[in-house]
Amino acid sequence: MDAPSTRRSVVESPRPSFSEPEAAEIAERVFGLAGRVTPLSSERDQAFLVGDGARGGGVLKISNAAERAAVIDMEAAAVLHVLSVDPEIPLARPIARRRPGSGLEAYRDEVAGPDGVHLVRMSERLLGRAAVAGSSLDAGALRAFGAVVARLGRAMRGFRHEQADRELLWDLQHVLRLRPWVEEIEPPDRRALVSRALDRFERRALPRWAELRSQVIHGDVTLENALLDERSRIGGIVDFGDMSHTALVVDLSSALESLLRGRDAAGALRAARSFIDGYEGVTPLEPLELELVADLTTARTAMTLVITTHQVAADPSRADYIDASAEGYWHLLEVLDGVDPGEAAAALGAEVPSEAKRLGARRGTVLGSALTAPTYDPPLYLVRGEGTFLFDEGGRAYLDAYNNVPVLGHSHPRVTGAIARQSRRLATNMRYLHHAVVELAERLVETMPPDTGLDTVLFVNSGSEANDLAWRIARAWTGRTGGIVTEHAYHGISDAIAALSPEEWRAGAPSHVETIAPPDPRRIASDAWAAQVDGAAAALAERSAAPAVVMIDAAFTSDGVFRPDPGTMRVLVERSHAAGALYVADEVQVGHGRSGEALWSFVADGIAPDLVTLGKPMGNGFPIAAVVTRAELVDRFATTTEFFSTFGGSPPAAAAALGVLAVIEDEGLVARAEEVGGFLEAEIVGIGSPTIEQVRRRGLTIGVELAGPAPGELVARVLNRMRDRGVLIGSTGPRGEVLKIRPPLSITLEEAAMIAPALAGSLAD
């Protein structure tokens, strides 16, 4: 057998056999502690309670003769280290011997016995019940247990010791070395059960072991080594004898091995989840750790059974300590063996995708017919995004040339990190003071040109809500009820804003809304365009619905993407004010740098809106939106209502939005938008296809209008062909005749260079 040799001697050499009077004599002579002596159970050493415990007392440990001083010293060093980092972790402080000694040596001494020389030490006595049945712990106790294990691991992070690298038999990373001992297990079905657990470890955990975070860990935080108080909360952790430098998640497997015993499969998974909840409240687990924790708990249970079976075979006197609990371990191993490893991982929080086809059917059944249809046929099932790429379940990468919400690229670590950290720390609402939301509002106001007077920010959760709020503020200010928008605009889903979104009209125009054509010089001359507002306002006034707002998306994205000539937006705002309406710059799409000219397109257009609405990319995927306006408008609004949005401006949302603003600046994304946008436009024009009617662009929003009798159908086909080629784009325009290319602003020139060839090929198809 080739199990690690250093520990084999400890595991296989006999337990010390000092009598109680001998132990009492040692306690008094060596450590100066007198009192009644009570033996405690121990696997390979001897332990005694000294004193009555009510007023102090201690625990005397007489080590196996094979134990080495360096290992004992490491245990004392670890306890002292943990207590210095996190003094609230209930550990037994080592007690110094009477004889002077330097450093850690002062915490041990030697005594002679029939088997040789034994190291002895004394530690404070901790109060509590040991070896409580794991199945008696409820969810609260399991969570608390998980939190203590995590704190212990956290406190040991910075602990180093040369002995921690010794090869320890009980270190799960060496579990496969136990295979020769598996042969000793009877009957054969139990032997097969243990072999399956080791095979599972070899197949699922071993190949990825090097990816797991590692440090020195306690290694045996079981209920045997935990003292619980009357509420089943940990009042003490003892026995650092199985410490080693190994994967952090190994601590979870030892704890779970003891907490899950005596439960059925469903109960065990639920209990494990509660324990992990507690652990993650202190130290979030990495995806791989979550994926493997069930496999490691299974391997740990098998390991316990292999080692203890071997120990009993080698030294039948140990059977009293070992056999009593063996059936509980066997039952647990059967339970763990009965759950599919993937399902166990999913139950413990690992991400396990389902299958695309079934998902499509389930979506159709439960989400109803009003929901927008999936863009591609067959629909895409995406499981991951990184930068400009999205990945499907099979791992295929798609260049995302469509989504503007992940303005920084998918899953930007600055934002995901900010959201996760803030969610862990605090997620409340605007009824309390919080620095992030105030800082965000100040940052946003700083980005507004001072002469606009845009000095006040209101936070909501979606572009629709921002526009709805802007609409209400404008109505309160003007006392009017009408609105003017472009012919095929989209501004949102609320009742009021759906009325201002002709793209969504199914039953004609509401009587309080008038539309104007987008700035398409093929339809209306540039210098006549803004004057459309006059006619629209007059028509509304005739219907007793004079305009409260003119609401414009300055990339005209839903209208098919148009770029107004310089100066025309200024005239539009003048005409709006002349008509008595407020001007709402809907920057939900074109804002946050997409115009390629400025953070906000209205700044590039040289106008001063009365209200600015922000959304979509504002949290790079986390819901947050805002209205920025002048204090006087909000003051008037405040006379009509109070404003509060449960999630609006929550600390995680504010943290996300602050991250977005910072990264746009740090990565120079406004300039990038213009650079890549210009490059893409030239590339697409360069295709020279007769099927392309016109290429239009505002910053990094590009509309490619297709020609022909049924351009909408052509667009739908091109989208699917592009998807087949690994490039995702969308469509827009009143007849769906325009290809919409609107990638994250983080897209590089190399990535953007993939788009035109894919488009050329798709058009040729």
Residues of this chain that bind ligand PMP (CB under 6 A): 462-464, 467, 490-493, 553, 557, 586, 588-589, 615-616
- Taking only Cα atoms into account, the Rg of the chain, rounded to an integer number of angstroms, comes to 35
Find the shortest distance in angstroms from Cβ 746 to ligand PMP: 20
488 touches 558 (CB < 8 A) = yes
Residue 701 bridge partners (DSSP): 698
Query: Smallest Cα–Cα separation from 613: which of 518, 427, 472, 487?
Result: 472
Residue closer to ligand PMP, measured from CB, 263 or 698: 698
Nearest distance in Å: CB 454, ligand PMP? 18
Closest approach, Cβ 704 to ligand PMP, in A, equals: 18
Q: What is the dihedral of CA 80, 82, 85, 90, to 10 degrees?
A: -100
Q: Quick one: 58 or 463, whose CB is closer to ligand PMP?
A: 463
CA separation for the pair 92, 575 (Å, rounded): 79
Residue type, 167: E
Question: Which of residues 181 and 562 has its CB atom nearest to ligand PMP in the complex?
Answer: 562
Using the minimum distance from each CB to ligand PMP, give the nearer residue, 163 or 403. 403
Spell out the alpha helix ranges (H) of 525-567. Answer: 526-529, 532-542
Q: Given the complex with ligand PMP, which of 5 and 372 has the nearer CB atom?
A: 372
Decide: 153 and 283 in contact? Cβ < 8 Å: yes
Please, what is the minimum distance in Å from the beta carbon of residue 615 to ligand PMP? 5
Minimum CB–partner distance for residue 569 and ligand PMP (Å): 15
Nearest distance, CB of residue 509 and ligand PMP, angstroms: 19
Identify which of residues 227 and 407 has a Cβ nearer to ligand PMP in the complex. 407
* Cα distance between residue 581 and residue 479, in whole Å: 10
User: Do 145 and 227 touch, CB atoms closer than 8 A?
Assistant: no
In the complex with ligand PMP, the residue whose CB is nearer, 291 or 559, is 559
Provide, rounded to whole angstroms, the least separation between the CB of residue 489 and ligand PMP: 7
Q: What is the DSSP string of 428-457?
A: --TTS--HHHHHHHHHHHHTS-GGGT--EE
Nearer Cβ to ligand PMP, position 492 or 659?
Answer: 492
Would you state the torsion angle of the CA atoms of residues 672, 674, 680, 684, taken in this order, to the nearest 10 degrees?
Answer: 180
Assign residue 560 a region (left: φ > 0; alpha: ψ between -120 and 50; beta: otherwise). Answer: left
In the complex with ligand PMP, the residue whose CB is nearer, 43 or 553, is 553
Inter-CA distances, 449 with 453, 600, 602, 665, Å: 8, 10, 10, 17
Inter-residue contact 53 to 127 (CB < 8 Å): yes
Q: Which is nearer to ligand PMP, 67 or 553 (CB)?
A: 553
Q: Which is nearer to ligand PMP, 400 or 586 (CB)?
A: 586
List the helix and strand counts (H, then E) for the chain.
26, 25
Report DSSP state, residue 105: G
Q: How far is the CB of 467 from ligand PMP (least distance, A)?
A: 6
Q: Could you tell me the smallest distance in angstroms from the CB atom of residue 504 to ligand PMP?
A: 11
Residue 587 CB, nearest approach to ligand PMP (Å): 8
Report the alpha-carbon distance of residue 739 to residue 716 in Å, rounded.
9
Q: How many CA atoms lie within 13 A of 667 on its CB side?
A: 22
Query: To the nearest whole angstrom, how small is the minimum distance from the Cβ of residue 614 to ligand PMP?
Result: 10
User: What residue is closest to ligand PMP based on CB?
Assistant: 463
CB of 443 to ligand PMP, least distance (A): 21
Residues with Cβ within 8 Å of residue 609, at least 6 apart in sequence? 452, 454, 573, 583, 584, 585, 602
Written as six digits, the tokens of 284 are 């979030």
CB of 752 to ligand PMP, least distance (A): 22
**With respect to ligand PMP, which residue has the nearer C-beta, 253 or 701?**
701
Q: Which is nearer to ligand PMP, 492 or 564 (CB)?
A: 492
Rounded to the nearest whole angstrom, what is the least distance from the CB of residue 202 to ligand PMP in the complex?
A: 49
Q: Concatenate the DSSP letters of all residues of 591-634 into one string.
A: TTTTTSSSSSHHHHTT---SEEEE-GGGGBTB--EEEEE-HHHH
The nearer residue to ligand PMP, 108 or 491, going by C-beta atoms, is: 491
Q: Find the helix or strand (DSSP H, E) in which 702 lies.
A: strand 701-706
CB atoms within 10 A of CB 33: 22
Check: CB of residue 195 under 8 Å from CB of residue 182: yes
Report the distance separating Cα 33 and Cα 364, nearest Å. Answer: 74
